Amino acid sequence: MNETIILGVSSSISLYKACEIVRAFQKREFQVRVIMTPNAGKLISPRLFQALTGHEVFLDLFADSSVERIAHIDLARQASLFLVAPATANVIGKFASGVADEFLSTFFLAASCPVVIAPAMHENMYLHPQTQENMARLRSRGIRFVLPGKGQLACGDEGWGRLAQPEAIVAVGLEALSRSTSLTGKRILVTAGPTRESVDPVRYFTNRSSGKMGYALAEEAASRGAEVTLVSGPVSLPVPFRGGLVRNVETAAEMEAAVFDLSAKADIIIMAAAVADFRPARTEANKIKKAGADLELTLTRTTDILAELGRRKSSRILVGFAAETEALEDNARAKLQDKNLDMVVANDVSQPDTGFGSDSNRVFVALRDGKSFQTEKMSKREVSSVIFNEIEGIIERKKNSPDP
């Protein structure tokens, strides 16, 4: 059966452009079902979209009198993508706060598919801090926006707030949909970000990890259909998927506890987190005062989570990272052996354009079977794709020759 796109249409003059969006998806053999807000239904007859899609248009939450089906839940099950174009400030505000008082906003809460929103409104409304805050909130939950452009607005004013071009909206929609099912049924645990080890209530040790690589891996895994659990150190990144589990931790010990708690249910574990190797031997209850000239702190080793996972590996696929500043390939191969990994991904963190915090990466990958290669510099999402292609290869080989 063809995949179904749910197109939400709210009351902006630009809603006529939604017809082009319907057509563009139909051309690519998607089914399109339209939900209109009651106000959109006052601007234009739902019959227009009914004629275009060949289906009834959802507008009234209580229109369907049948007891067997609840329309918004039924529809949510079929949806591969929920695209709202145009989205008014009112709709965005309702989504951000969980108000569900008509079909469209109720559907938003019921849907678990990717969501793409294309706002359209007057510049003052668009730039209002409340609207921006609502959008940021939605973004932090993995919802994508196709930002409006600048130009003539419905009232004749010039400014930001014009609905993006239909082709741009369709492109983002297709990107949100661009996932495969190659990892469906696989449970993947990804760790990401740094850890923080407290010295006293004010100070802590941490490292330069931004979490971007781990988050990109989690996003890629989810887009391939995997059931993803992300254990994340403190980062400022939006949750990269919907429907998975995110466990936020702060210290190496908390990360260790979370990983061991969740590892039994994982088929694949990727340790992308930059876990502290040392923590202060004791955390002072009160702030350390600058009494003497120098201060000596004793640091003690944390558990090497990855090495421990390697010791209890069983049939699980284990992928480790290596952050190196010298002898990259040799150090990476040594980690592969020492930690009993299936794959190691090493990067040179001394390079400013690919190291910590950067959006791109260039990695050296080594597999247990001897294969190794160096990638070009590419985005962290692209690196994730390379890594998962290799993981899928490992899964395939394991199927053909399972471990004794």
Site of interaction with ligand CTP (CB under 6 A): 252, 271, 273, 275, 277, 302-306, 320-323, 335
Q: Pick between residue 33 and residue 335 the one whose CB is nearest to ligand CTP.
A: 335
**Which 3 state secondary structure label does DSSP give 309?**
helix
Backbone angles phi, psi at 398, to 5 degrees: -65, -35
* CB neighbour list of residue 67: distance below 8 Å, 6 or more residues apart: none
Residue ranges of the alpha helices (H) in 54-140? 71-78, 89-97, 103-110, 123-127, 129-139
Neighbours of 275 (CB within 10 A): 24
Q: Pick between residue 84 and residue 188 the one whose CB is nearest to ligand CTP.
A: 188
Neighbours of 201 (CB within 10 A): 12
Maximum C-alpha span of the chain: 81
Q: Pick between residue 92 and residue 252 the one whose CB is nearest to ligand CTP.
A: 252
For the record, the structure tokens of 370 come out as: 């001897």
d(CA 33, CA 79): 9
- 54 burial (CB, 10 Å; 0-12 / 13-18 / 19+) is exposed
113 included as an active-site residue: no
d(CA 195, CA 235): 9
On whether the CB atoms of residues 57 and 50 are closer than 8 A, the answer is yes
Q: Pick between residue 172 and residue 319 the one whose CB is nearest to ligand CTP.
A: 319
d(CA 336, CA 168): 43
Q: How far is the CB of 91 from ligand CTP (least distance, A)?
A: 41
Q: Pick between residue 211 and residue 320 the one whose CB is nearest to ligand CTP.
A: 320
Q: How far is the CB of 334 from ligand CTP (least distance, A)?
A: 9
Q: How far is the CB of 305 from ligand CTP (least distance, A)?
A: 3
Q: How far is the CB of 233 from ligand CTP (least distance, A)?
A: 10
Q: How far is the CB of 276 from ligand CTP (least distance, A)?
A: 6
Residue with tokens 């239909």: 166
Please tell me what DSSP assigns to residue 358: -
- Residue 90 CA: distances (Å) to CA of 100, 125, 143, 181, 386: 12, 10, 17, 35, 41
Q: Pick between residue 118 and residue 386 the one whose CB is nearest to ligand CTP.
A: 386
Q: Which of 65, 68, 129, 155 is catalytic?
A: 155
Q: Pick between residue 323 and residue 386 the one whose CB is nearest to ligand CTP.
A: 323
Q: Pick between residue 40 and residue 318 the one whose CB is nearest to ligand CTP.
A: 318
Please tell me what DSSP assigns to residue 184: T
Neighbours of 190 (CB within 10 A): 31
H or E element at residue 315: none
Q: How far is the CB of 232 from ligand CTP (least distance, A)?
A: 12
On whether the CB atoms of residues 215 and 230 are closer than 8 A, the answer is yes
On whether the CB atoms of residues 298 and 281 are closer than 8 A, the answer is yes
Q: How far is the CB of 385 from ligand CTP (least distance, A)?
A: 19
- Nearest by Cα to 75 from 89, 88, 61: 61
- 90 burial (CB, 10 Å; 0-12 / 13-18 / 19+) is middle
Q: How far is the CB of 345 from ligand CTP (least distance, A)?
A: 8
Annotated catalytic residues are: 155
